Structures are given as C-alpha cells and as structure tokens.
C-alpha cells in the first residue's frame, strides 16, 4: 500500500514542479528527495520488509 502512496506523492511533486509552485516557495529540494524516497520504497518492497 505504501508503494502506491509514494508514487501518488511523486506525481503530485511533478505537477507542482512543472507549474512552478515549488520554485515560488523555494521548495525545489522536494524534487531531489522524491527519487530517494521512491528508491527506498522499491528496495524495501523487493526485500519484502514492507
């Protein structure tokens, strides 16, 4: 279930990035941390820890 939540949040981050919302609020760092979170979830799912 967390797998789908992280992907939904990634889509929201992409939409906010391309509309310029993140840049206006100096939150572009979210775009860089999203792949790290997705990688962690995929790795944990592969290891069957979540």
pTM confidence score: 0.81
pLDDT in tens, 3-47: 889 899 999 999 999 999 999 999 999 999 999 999 999 899 899
Overall number of domains in the chain = 1
CA distance 31 to 1: 22
Instruction: Assign 2 a pLDDT band (cuts: 50, 70, 90).
Output: confident
Residue 19: what pLDDT?
97
Structural domain including 12 reads: 2-46
pLDDT grade for 1, boundaries at 50, 70 and 90: confident
Judge whether residue 49 has pLDDT over 80. Answer: yes
């Amino acid at each position: 279930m967390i797998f789908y939540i992280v992907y939904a949040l990634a889509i929201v981050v992409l939409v906010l990035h391309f509309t310029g919302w993140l840049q206006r609020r100096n939150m572009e760092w979210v775009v860089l941390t999203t792949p790290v979170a997705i990688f962690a979830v995929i790795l944990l799912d592969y290891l069957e820890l979540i």
